[in-house]
A and B are shown apart, each in its own frame.
Chain A
Amino acid sequence: MGVKELVRKYAVSPFLAYIPLVIIGLILPLAITDDFFIRIIVLTFFYIMYSSSWNLLAYSGQASLGHAAFLGIGGFASTILIINGASPVVGVLTGALTASLVGLFLGIICVRLKEWFLGLVTFGFAIIMVAIVNESSVFIEALNGALGFIGLSGSIDPHIFGGSLGIFSPDLVPRDQYYYLFFFAMMATILATHLIIKSKIGFAFAAIRENQIEAAMMGVDITKYKLIAFIISTFIAGFAGALFAPYNYFINPEMFSVHNSFMPIIMTISGGIGTIGGPVIGALTINLIWEQMGLWGMSIDRLLILGVILVLEILFLPKGLMPLIKKVINRISKVMGLTSRDMPL
């Protein structure tokens, strides 16, 4: 039996093509002892989730310029709950739900707005959040009360998910617990966005993005689907933030920063906006470039380079890396006798 037949026979589901990647993902922490490398991979997983959430909102034609607001709300809400005694699972889910609820509220404001209005309102909302978190004594007390910090920043017990999440064996070192936590969360996010985009909801999003008036004429409930996009996207962003805060051992209002709003944008555009694989490829490349530049001791320069990358991409590669990768994969599948339809990207 030749390779073609073998692949044809066993590639019953196009998802099988990803099994090798998943296996690599599962055994990676066992094979690698370098903590810093694992940290970068975990950050990549985090950015894949966060960018996917931004991408889903952009998929419905709504490009948020202040997505850090939801990341931060998720992070703060869950951290406050957990250090005040809630179980980590409850804390993380409540954090994500809180972000989602605020997202619904902002979505209601944004539903009538287009492109730049929406961009501005979301950007401004992140700025409002910084002021609220910095100035409200409620937040300071909630964080200080449990840990006795001065001001609104402080470390979080790294073992916060240790064992008590109930998923992992307590024997696992915290590093690997976090690795698997983020790995599975990322897988769930990718799967969820895949299912949503391929579902009726996803078609409604695309219709609204392409032409709102035509979509409305075809019977798509614009308001409903725009709000659904906001709810799901902000839930994922809040979820990512809720996991990220304890992993970082640290939380402060920097979480709402403009830079945090900017990262998912450049990552998604680098990969390919509006595709499921785009945020994955983008987060991987941009995060690796970003961390490598950090290792080279660049601080201002790497921000500058990020800007240059974004401008060059908009001018010369507006669809991102995905079309290139698709081309390569198509060639490979042609050789192996698969149709490109079998490869879900």
Chain B
Amino acid sequence: MAEITTLIQIFIWGLTAGCIYVLMAVGLNMIFGVMKVVNFAHGEIMMLGAFTSFWVYNYTGINPYFIMFISMIVVGIFGVIIERYGFRKVLGTGKLNEIFLSLGLIYIIQNLSVKLWTDDIRKINSPFSSMTLDLGMLNITYDRLIAIGFTALILISLYLFLTKTDVGRALRATSQNHEAAMLMGVNVNHMYMLSFGIGSALAAAAGTIAAILTPFNPYMGTISGIMAFTVIIIGGLGSIPGAIIAGLMLGLVQNFTIFYFGGAWKDAVAFVLLIIVLIIKPTGLFGEEH
């Protein structure tokens, strides 16, 4: 049996890894809710978020936690463009076309990034990187605590936006019923762009946090994107509370798996979990029957 402090340490790591999954999965879930489209290239958008933050940080040197918001705006706009000129064109032509389009986007975005920026390992150095919260036997870096704090902050703002503003209500209306929303005067096409923009911005935040916590290169996104997808299926497609719980759960399970079985099983365990959940409850833990 491992020492209790080690277990707490792994718990914190799992929680921060989970925060990244949560941000990714909530964004993916929003896009799915509104457009009924699943973007397999969500991880590449996250990687673009990490690179945007990295380059802004490299040239200006301002606090990366502030840059995160710049990155969210830039990548959010990029998401809107992808929606407008990519996914909008294949909407309604069959689910398979959407899947294949996002596969193509993975290849384009990933390899273009390698071409532009090489596949060197990079890292964003946060000003807090050397500071740790000293709790006697336990050391927790401030960056991990800030990551958890920022995730909570972003999720609360998103919640307030969706429930308290007219635009947020229109988004939720579209996600519940396209036709009815359209009849009520909601411009559904604008809602599509908005949902893709918000989803991409959340991915950019996840990418920035990931780039501060761990080294990265253009290949960081693929598995993360697929994991985010796994999270929303485990949590239940369309359920945001489900995505949050499943995201944190997956982060924890993965980190404990690394500790007990070794790093090679990190990704495999997520899919084993997915298959088990799908066998027991095909709609996910918090999903509703469609």
Report which of B89, B223, B265 forms a contact with A315, defined as CB distance below 8 A.
B89
Docked complex Cα distance between A262 and B106 (Å): 11
Q: Is the CB of A116 within 8 A of B268?
A: no
B: number of interface residues (CB 8 Å)? 42
Write the nearest CB–CB distance from B90 to chain A, whole angstroms.
6
Tell me which residues across on chain A come within 8 A of B264, comparing CB atoms.
131, 134-135
Q: Which residues of chain B in 241-290 are interfacial with respect to chain A, using CB atoms and an 8 Å cutoff?
A: 262, 264-265, 267-268, 270-272, 274-275, 278-279, 282
Q: Is the CB of A127 within 8 A of B267?
A: yes
With A311-B86, A314-B97 in contact, do A120 and B115 touch (Cβ < 8 Å)?
no
Q: Is the CB of A301 within 8 A of B115?
A: yes
Q: Which residues of chain B in 3-51 are interfacial with respect to chain A, using CB atoms and an 8 Å cutoff?
A: 38, 40
Docked complex Cα distance between A265 and B233 (Å): 23
Docked complex Cα distance between A127 and B275 (Å): 13
- Residue A344 at the chain B interface, CB threshold 8 Å: no
Max chain B CB contacts within 10 Å: which of A130, A132, A310?
A310
With A121-B271, A127-B268, A301-B115 in contact, do A114 and B90 touch (Cβ < 8 Å)?
no
Report which of A125, A131, A132, A310 forms a contact with B100, defined as CB distance below 8 A.
A310
Q: Is the CB of A125 within 8 A of B271?
A: yes
Docked complex Cα distance between A116 and B233 (Å): 10
* Residue in A closest to B222 when the chains form the complex, CB atoms: A258
Max chain B CB contacts within 10 Å: which of A63, A132, A301, A311?
A311
Chain A interface: which size bin? 35 or more
Q: Is the CB of A307 within 8 A of B105?
A: yes
Docked complex Cα distance between A97 and B37 (Å): 36
With A63-B96, A128-B272, A318-B93 in contact, do A304 and B108 touch (Cβ < 8 Å)?
yes
Q: Which residues of chain A in 110-145 are interfacial with respect to chain B, using CB atoms and an 8 Å cutoff?
A: 112-117, 119-121, 123-125, 127-128, 130-132, 134-135
- Residue A332 at the chain B interface, CB threshold 8 Å: no
* Residue in B closest to A116 when the chains form the complex, CB atoms: B38
Contact with A along B97-127 (1 / 0, CB 8 A): 1011101111110111011000000000000
Q: Is the CB of B282 within 8 A of A63?
A: no
Q: Is the CB of B96 within 8 A of A115?
A: yes
- Residue A269 at the chain B interface, CB threshold 8 Å: yes
With A310-B100, A311-B101 in contact, do A117 and B226 touch (Cβ < 8 Å)?
no
Max chain A CB contacts within 10 Å: which of B105, B223, B271?
B271
Q: Is the CB of A303 within 8 A of B107?
A: yes
With A63-B96, A124-B226, A300-B115 in contact, do A314 and B101 touch (Cβ < 8 Å)?
yes
Write the nearest CB–CB distance from A14 to chain B, whole angstroms.
30
- Residue A227 at the chain B interface, CB threshold 8 Å: no
Q: Is the CB of B274 within 8 A of A124?
A: yes
* Residue in A closest to B276 when the chains form the complex, CB atoms: A109
Docked complex Cα distance between A335 and B95 (Å): 40
Tell me which residues across on chain B come within 8 A of A207, comparing CB atoms.
none
Write the nearest CB–CB distance from A314 to chain B, whole angstroms.
5
* Residue in B closest to A110 when the chains form the complex, CB atoms: B278
Report which of B95, B108, B230 forms a contact with A115, defined as CB distance below 8 A.
B95
Docked complex Cα distance between A262 and B279 (Å): 26
Max chain A CB contacts within 10 Å: which of B40, B108, B112, B115?
B108
- Residue B216 at the chain A interface, CB threshold 8 Å: no
Docked complex Cα distance between A212 and B198 (Å): 34
- Residue B54 at the chain A interface, CB threshold 8 Å: no
With A127-B267, A307-B104, A311-B108 in contact, do A119 and B99 touch (Cβ < 8 Å)?
yes
Q: Is the CB of B265 within 8 A of A63?
A: no
Docked complex Cα distance between A131 and B262 (Å): 10
Tell me which residues across on chain B come within 8 A of A7, comparing CB atoms.
none
- Residue B57 at the chain A interface, CB threshold 8 Å: no
- Residue A172 at the chain B interface, CB threshold 8 Å: no
Contact with A along B142-159 (1 / 0, CB 8 A): 000000000000000000
Instruction: Please give 9 more A-B residue pairs, beta carbons under 8 A apart, in addition to A127-B268, A303-B110, A318-B97.
Output: A112-B278, A117-B233, A120-B226, A120-B229, A265-B103, A273-B96, A300-B114, A311-B104, A311-B105
User: Which of B's residues lie within 8 Å of A, judged by CB?
Assistant: 38, 40, 86, 89-90, 93, 95-97, 99-101, 103-108, 110-112, 114-115, 222-223, 226, 229-230, 233, 262, 264-265, 267-268, 270-272, 274-275, 278-279, 282
Shortest Cβ-Cβ A-B pairs, 5 listed: A307-B107, A124-B271, A310-B104, A131-B268, A311-B104
